[in-house]
A = this chain, B = another copy of it.
Amino acid sequence: MTVVTLPADWLDELKWDEQGLIPAIAQDDQTGDVLMVAWMNRDALARTVETGQAVYWSRSRKKLWHKGESSGHLQRVSDIRTDCDADVILLKVQQTGGIACHTGRYSCFYRQLQKKSDSKQTDSHKWRETDPIIKDPGEIYPGDQ
């Protein structure tokens, strides 16, 4: 991906944190479901705008992360918003393959806080997985095996 990124006022209007990053929420533009949250630096957001596909900054790998570059699960971006504080980005996306999560699930938010039925204690809740694995991660990322 070769993209020339010039200075842009709209990028300057955002509040980047001390690492030069801003959190970005990806939301399915059809269902409205929240799919994932990742981080962007200026370059990632500029490339997202220029290519029409979500590009994030991988904090663990410390490099640009063109979502779907390994898995094929690209995100086509139909809408980019920011909030009143200009410190969060909201992307509406069309999720290729219907899988946003590296675990092979549709959404990363597959764990729901549920009440344990047999307890009246304050610690009466637990996280439960509610969403199925659509595709085995070993099939999605064969190079990682």
Per-residue B-contact encoding for A1-40, CB less than 8 Å = 1, 0 else:
0001111111001000000000101010001111011000
- By the criterion CB–CB under 8 Å, are A125 and B36 in contact? no
| Contact bitstring A96-139, B, C-beta under 8 A = 1, else 0 | 00000111010011111100000001110111000000000000
Q: Are A122 and B25 in contact (CB under 8 A)?
A: no
A50 and B88 within 8 A (CB): no
- A interface residues, tally (CB under 8 Å): 46
Asked whether A10 and B123 contact (CB < 8 A) given A25-B25, A37-B23, the answer is yes
B113-A49 in contact (CB<8A): yes
- The answer to whether A84 and B102 touch (CB under 8 A), given A10-B123, A25-B37, is yes
Residue in chain B with minimal CB distance to A7: B123
Chain B residues positioned under 8 Å from A34 (CB to CB): 25, 27, 34, 90
Instruction: Return 21 A-B CB contacts under 8 Å, by A number.
Output: A4-B122, A6-B121, A6-B123, A9-B126, A10-B123, A10-B125, A10-B127, A13-B127, A23-B23, A23-B37, A25-B34, A27-B34, A34-B34, A34-B90, A49-B125, A79-B112, A83-B108, A84-B102, A84-B110, A85-B108, A86-B111
